[in-house]
Amino acid sequence: MAAVRNSGSHRSPSRLTWARLCRDRWSLGALCVVVAILLASFAGGPIASRILGHNGYDQFPYAASISQKPIGPWTRVPALLTGLGNTASGDLTPPPAGTKTTLFVFGADGPLGRDELIRVLDGGKTSLEIAIGGALIALLIGLPLGSLAGYFGGAVDAVVARITEWIMAFPLMLFLVFASVQLDHRLGPIGFGWWLPDGVFAEALLIGAFTSFYPTRLVRAQLLQLRNAEFVESAEMVGASHWWILRRHLLPHLVPTVLVWGAIAIATNILLEVGLSFIGAGVQVSTATWGSLLSTTWGTLLSPQNYNSQSFTPWQTIFPSFAILLAVVSLNQLSEGLRRALDPWAAR
C-alpha cells in the first residue's frame, strides 16, 4: 500500500522497507531488543566491570561458601582476591571490619566466585561472535555455490545439489563429538588470538560449514526463478558477461532472502553453540559463553551432573537461559518482520 500511496515521490526500496518495518510494532520491538543485546554483549562487560570495580575473571574467595556454594544475586562481597586463612571450623576467616565490599548483581558463578552478571555479558559476546561468524562462513560457502547452481543449472546444478544433500544427511552431531575429541587440539589454536578468544573461530567454522547447505539451497532456488527473467535476458542481449549479470543484476535480488535467513541462522547458531558446550567441545573453559555458563551447572554429555537441592543455584540457570531466550525469540521475530517488510505483497 505504501508504494501506491507514495507513488508521486521517489523513495528507495530500502527506505520503503524501513517504513514498513517501523509500522510493525512487534518487529520494531524485536529490532530494539536485538540492538540492545548486541550493545550489552560487546560493550556491557567492560562498562559493568568499570562500574562494579571487578571483571569477569576475578575470583573472589568470599563469593562462595564453605560448601562451595556460590552466593546469590544482589549480594555484597568483601573485595578481596585472596582469603585471609581459615578458621578452626574450616570456614574462611571473616574479613576485618571496614573491608571494602563489591556488589555481585547476579550472584557468583560457582566455587571460583566470579561475577555472574559480567560473565553473562561476556558470554553473550563470545556466543554472538560464534553465531554471527558461523552465519558469515555459511554465507561465504553458500552464496557462490548456490549462485553457480542456480545460474548455470544443468550439470553444475546436479553436482551442487548432490553435495548439499550429502552435507544435509551427514550425522553432524556425531561428527561434532568426534571433532571435539579428535580435532580440537588442532583447530582450537587457529584463533585470531588478539581479537577472538581461542576456539571461537574453530567453532564458527564447524557450525558454518555444516549449516552452509541452507543458504546454498535458498540462493539456488531464488536464482532458478530469476534466471529467465526479462531483465536478465535483456542484459544478455546487450552483451553483459555472466559475472556482470550475476553481480549487478542478480545479487541485489538476494539481499532480502539473505537478511531473512541471516536473522534465523544467528538464532539457530546460538542454540547450536549451547549444544556444543554440552558436548564439552568448543572454546576454552575459562572463556564464558551462554552455553558454557549453563553446562558448568548441568555438566556435559559424558559427565552429567545430578540435581541436588542443597547445592542448586537457580540463578546460574535462569540468567543465561533468559539471555538465550531473549536473543532467540527476538531474532526470530525480527526475521519474520523483515520477511514481511521486504515483500510488500506477502500475506500479512
Partner 1 sequence: MTRALAFLLRRAVAGFFTIVVMITLTFAIFWATPTQPARFVYTSAGPALSSYQIQHGNHLLGVDRPKVEQWAHYVTHLLRGDFGNGWDGARVVGNTKLVEFPIAPFVEPALRETLSLLLGGAVLVLLLSIPLGAFAGTRIGSLGDRTVSLVALIGICTHPMVIGILVRSLFAGRVHWLPPSGYCPLIRSPAGGCGGPVDWATHLAMPWLTFALLFLALYIRMVRTSVAETMHSDYVRTARAKGATELRVIGRHVLPNAALRVLTMIGMEIGTAIGVSIYIESAFGLGGLASLAVRAMAGNGAALDLPLILAIVFLISAVVVVGNLVVDSFYVFFDPRTAIGADRAPTAKAAAGGVI
Interaction site with partner 1 (CB under 8 A): 165-166, 168-178, 180-182, 210, 271-272, 274-276, 278-279, 291, 294-295, 298-299, 301-302, 304-307, 309, 317, 321, 324-325, 328-329
State in angstroms the smallest separation of the CB of 168 from partner 1: 5
Of the two residues 10 and 185, which places its CB atom closer to partner 1 in the complex? Answer: 185
Q: Which is nearer to partner 1, 58 or 273 (CB)?
A: 273
Q: Indicate the residue among 188 and 291 with the shorter CB distance to partner 1.
A: 291
Give the H/E segment covering residue 33: helix 25-39
Are the C-beta atoms of residues 327 and 238 closer than 8 Å to each other? no
Cell digits of residue 252: 541485489
Task: Give least dist CB 235 to partner 1, A.
Answer: 28
User: Cβ 76 to partner 1, closest distance in Å?
Assistant: 29
Would you state the cell numbers that stand for residue 212, as one nine-digit string? Answer: 552452509
In the bound state with partner 1, the residue whose beta carbon lies nearer, of 250 and 293, is 293
- Smallest gap from residue 311 Cβ to partner 1 (A): 12
Cα distance between residue 272 and residue 291, in whole Å: 9
Residue whose C-alpha is closest to residue 118's, from 206, 50, 38: 50
- Decide whether 178 or 244 has the Cβ nearer to partner 1: 178
- CA torsion through residues 248, 250, 256, 260, sign: negative
- Least Å distance, CB 310 to partner 1, is 12
- Alpha-carbon gap, residue 336 to 175, rounded angstroms: 31
- At its nearest, how many Å lie between partner 1 and the CB of residue 284? 19
CB of 172 or CB of 251, closer to partner 1: 172
Residue closer to partner 1, measured from CB, 102 or 316: 316
User: 145 is written with which cell numbers?
Assistant: 555455490
User: What is the three-state SS of 112-172?
Assistant: CCCEHHHHHHHHHHHHHHHHHHHHHHHHHHHHHHHHHHHHHCHHHHHHHHHHHHHHHHCCH
Q: How far is the CB of 88 from partner 1 (least distance, A)?
A: 35
Could you tell me how far CA 275 lies from the centroid of its own chain? 12
